[in-house]
């Protein structure tokens, strides 16, 4: 008798504006999986759509009931967060339904930087000294008690949003007020907790991994050749494989594995940010998700497997051909937003595409769209992708392509005046 093949049913938790969702949907099609997308949507905007579950991630009881009802009607194989926003809900839902994933406590720590820092300190993972503060504190008094240079950081935002360096009390007060205003807009008016961390000098790397039963498998290590010293921490170029000596790469892997154990992560994707100096690697951030934006396009494994397919195969219990990265050196440049305003035009794309090694240029910010740079913003103008025989060549190609691009950004006040 023929064997019946049961298609895995995957629930992907995401946000309406996610960069990552299309790549996960394409990967699900590659492995012939049934997919339901759970989209974080306020109840007032929710409307039924085929293959979509409109739920409010912040209303945990209602969201869990909706996921439970879906599972009862169409049993789920796995629940995966596409973005940071779904990590905790995925863990809670998996625990309630008996599906494999990380424990809810570990997922919570992977989302809350204060919990994470406490666990790192307890486990002896090298990471910055930290202090929990609140926006309603007497900032002038607080500014006299923190070490300098320091970094003011929100507990739950990602992508360097709201992260500001301060070198003296005046800068600290300004940074804390700026972060408080941002948190009022994002989380609602009120008092907000935030971290004040020791600034760790050095250069940064990003590690992409996959955790299987608590064991971290490193998939790629990216160098970040541009300095990230503040006052804001906008990332630009990622290049892999790393050019660091093997001894340093080994130390990076060991610190990342120790950090994952400290948090309690046991399964799924892992994205880590570390700073390196003469004292070795320091863990800055650890997330239970894959690399942000469109950056995963730089990675292929085995014959031609995208990162998202590895993640879905692990979650669904399907075989994985290889975890070894394939191809030459690769890299991506996240095109920074140089100023606030309205994007009116982009020139030089065709010239940039002629640069040797450039694979593609994706301008993701639409025209006539308001742009907000860091530390308040949470997006980029777009992405440049390159490949080449070695990391240095890839980096040079990315920089040459970016130099060809010209963006016309009109200040919002000027635009308003023209429209009168």
Beta bridge partners of 216: 211
Number of domains the chain is built from: 3
Tell me 244's DSSP state.
S
CB neighbours of 217 closer than 8 A, spacing ≥ 6? 209, 210, 211, 323
Tell me the pLDDT tens digit for each residue of 55-73. Answer: 999 999 999 999 999 999 9
Please check whether residue 205 lies inside any domain of the structure. Answer: no
CB-neighbour burial class of residue 315 (10 A; exposed 0-12, middle 13-18, buried 19+): buried
Please check whether residue 141 lies inside any domain of the structure. Answer: yes
Tokens of 360: 């593609």
Q: Is the pLDDT of residue 111 over 90?
A: yes
Given 109, 137, 160, the domain boundary residue is 109
pLDDT confidence bin for 49, thresholds 50/70/90: confident
Beta bridge partners of 274: 205, 283
Percent of the chain residues past pLDDT 90, beyond the cut: 88
Mean pLDDT of 141-168: 96
342: helix, coil or strand? strand
pLDDT confidence bin for 4, thresholds 50/70/90: low
pLDDT confidence bin for 17, thresholds 50/70/90: confident
Do 18 and 93 belong to one domain?
Answer: yes
Please check whether residue 284 lies inside any domain of the structure. Answer: no
Q: Is the pLDDT of residue 416 over 80?
A: no
CATH number for 133: 3.30.1490.20
Q: Is the pLDDT of residue 185 over 80?
A: yes
Domain range for 175 is: 129-198
106: helix, coil or strand? helix
Percent of the chain residues past pLDDT 70, beyond the cut: 96
Mean pLDDT of 221-229: 97
Given 198, 214, 235, the domain boundary residue is 198
Mean pLDDT of 339-366: 96
Do 181 and 98 belong to one domain?
Answer: no
- Give me the pLDDT at residue 255, please: 98
Tokens of 378: 């949470």
- Cα-Cα-Cα-Cα torsion 87, 90, 91, 95, nearest 10 degrees, comes to 180
Mean pLDDT of 124-132: 98
Given 174, 198, 222, the domain boundary residue is 198
CB neighbours of 364 closer than 8 A, spacing ≥ 6? 19, 294, 379, 380, 381, 382, 383
CATH number for 346: 3.30.470.20
Q: Which of 174-188, 316-330, 343-357 has the lowest mean pLDDT?
A: 316-330
């Amino acid at each position: 008798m023929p064997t019946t093949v049961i298609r895995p049913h995957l629930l992907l938790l995401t946000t309406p504006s996610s960069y990552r969702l299309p790549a996960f949907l394409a990967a699900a099609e590659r492995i012939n999986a049934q997919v339901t997308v759970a989209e974080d949507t306020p109840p007032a905007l929710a409307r039924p759509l085929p293959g979509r579950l409109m739920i409010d991630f912040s209303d945990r009881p209602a969201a869990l009931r909706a996921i439970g009802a879906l599972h009862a009607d169409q049993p789920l194989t796995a629940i995966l967060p596409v973005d940071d926003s779904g990590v905790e809900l995925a863990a809670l839902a998996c625990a309630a339904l008996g599906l494999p994933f990380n424990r809810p406590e570990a997922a919570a720590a992977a989302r809350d930087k204060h919990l994470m820092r406490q666990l790192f300190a307890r486990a002896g993972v090298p990471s910055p000294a930290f202090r929990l503060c609140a926006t309603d504190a007497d900032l002038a008094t607080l500014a006299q008690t923190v070490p300098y240079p320091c970094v003011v950081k929100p507990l739950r935002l990602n992508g360097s949003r709201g992260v500001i360096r301060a070198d003296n009390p005046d800068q600290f007060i300004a940074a804390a007020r700026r972060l408080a205003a941002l948190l009022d807009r994002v989380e609602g008016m009120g008092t907000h907790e935030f971290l004040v961390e020791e600034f760790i000098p050095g250069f940064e790397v990003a590690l992409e991994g996959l955790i299987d039963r608590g064991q971290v498998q490193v998939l790629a290590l990216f160098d970040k050749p541009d300095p990230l010293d503040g006052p804001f921490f906008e990332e630009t170029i990622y290049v892999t494989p790393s050019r660091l000596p093997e001894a340093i790469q080994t130390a990076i892997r060991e610190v990342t594995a120790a950090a994952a154990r400290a948090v309690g992560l046991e399964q799924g994707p892992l994205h880590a940010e570390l700073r390196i100096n003469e004292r070795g690697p320091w863990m800055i951030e650890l997330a239970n998700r894959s690399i942000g934006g469109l950056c995963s396009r730089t990675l292929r494994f085995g014959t031609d497997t995208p990162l998202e397919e590895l993640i879905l195969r692990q979650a669904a219990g399907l075989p994985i051909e290889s975890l070894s990265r394939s191809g030459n050196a690769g890299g991506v440049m996240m095109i920074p937003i140089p100023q606030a305003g309205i994007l009116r035009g982009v020139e030089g794309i065709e010239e940039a595409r002629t640069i040797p090694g450039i694979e593609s240029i994706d301008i993701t910010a639409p025209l006539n769209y308001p742009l907000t740079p860091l530390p308040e913003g949470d997006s980029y103008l777009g992405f440049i992708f390159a490949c080449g025989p070695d990391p240095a060549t890839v980096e040079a190609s990315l920089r040459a392509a970016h130099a060809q691009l010209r963006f016309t950004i009109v200040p919002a006040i000027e635009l308003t005046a023209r429209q009168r």
